[in-house]
A and B are shown apart, each in its own frame.
Chain A
């Protein structure tokens, strides 16, 4: 089964600084990869997804992620952090299982704190 590992359960950055949230996946074949964001007391919102097209994926709110097969990574970045980016971020991978559908497995999440 495929899985994802998110390095760092908590990340703090200053407002205006680079945001880097790390995600590594394990898979024998290129998977589908996702980043979701969860604001306090809200549901999950898709930030961006990789589905084997361009390796650099741009998402909403200025976020982007690069799929690097050689490193089995899909790190999330944003050039300049904003206070509104404070949230929890989940990396996820899709898993092809019997029956032809893909089960999505989530990482443990990274809470981003933005310091004014």
Chain B
């Protein structure tokens, strides 16, 4: 298991601004996944990030809109850029740990509302 924290837990932002979401894990992470959960819907994978390499984005998501950083093995950030109301969602980081290759853990999520 792992302790995963996300900051901020929630935020209300204005259209056109950007928000950076932080994810901190207390164990070494092999891969970091970032998901979006829009209201009333399931989870959609945004991108996968290996430490030391460029993130891989899923169809419909681009780096300019959702830049990701992984400066070390326990920390990652996702930025939601130039926000619009359609970006209102819960954003979750999901680390895969070195010792639990087949299991994926989830952070508590960041609830974003864009006005």
Count how many pairs of residues, one from A and one from B, have CB atoms less than 8 Å apart in the complex: 44
Which residues on the A side are within 8 Å of B41 (C-beta)?
Answer: 108-109
Q: A42-B108, A43-B108 are in contact. Are A102 and B102 (CB under 8 A)?
A: yes
Question: Nearest residue in A to B30 (C-beta to C-beta)?
Answer: A101
Main DSSP-derived SS at the A contact region: strand
Q: A101-B31, A103-B48 are in contact. Are A44 and B106 (CB under 8 A)?
A: yes
Q: A42-B108, A43-B92, A103-B48 are in contact. Are A90 and B42 (CB under 8 A)?
A: yes
Q: A49-B103, A51-B102 are in contact. Are A43 and B42 (CB under 8 A)?
A: no
A103–B102 touching, CB < 8 Å: no
B95 proximal to A (CB < 8 A) = no
B102–A94 touching, CB < 8 Å: yes
Specify which of B31, B42, B102, B104 is in contact with A109 (CB 8 Å cutoff).
Answer: B42
B44 shortest CB reach to chain A, Å: 8
Measured in the bound complex, the distance between the Cα atoms of B94 and A103 in whole Å is 11
Question: Nearest residue in A to B106 (C-beta to C-beta)?
Answer: A44
Specify which of B92, B96, B102 is in contact with A44 (CB 8 Å cutoff).
Answer: B92
A104 proximal to B (CB < 8 A) = yes
Question: Nearest residue in A to B31 (C-beta to C-beta)?
Answer: A101
Which residues on the A side are within 8 Å of B102 (C-beta)?
Answer: 32, 49, 51, 94, 102
Measured in the bound complex, the distance between the Cα atoms of B106 and A108 in whole Å is 17
Which residues on the A side are within 8 Å of B56 (C-beta)?
Answer: 99
A104 shortest CB reach to chain B, Å: 5
Measured in the bound complex, the distance between the Cα atoms of B42 and A94 in whole Å is 16
Interface residues, chain B, with chain A CB atoms under 8 Å away: 31, 33, 41-43, 45, 48, 56, 92, 94, 96, 102-109
Supplied contacts A36-B106, A90-B43, A107-B42, 5 more A-B pairs, CB within 8 Å: A51-B102, A94-B102, A99-B56, A102-B102, A109-B42
Interface residues, chain A, with chain B CB atoms under 8 Å away: 32, 34, 36, 42-46, 49, 51, 90, 94, 99, 101-109
CB pairs A–B below 8 angstroms (13 shown):
A42-B108, A43-B92, A43-B108, A44-B106, A46-B103, A46-B105, A49-B102, A90-B42, A101-B31, A102-B102, A103-B33, A103-B48, A104-B33
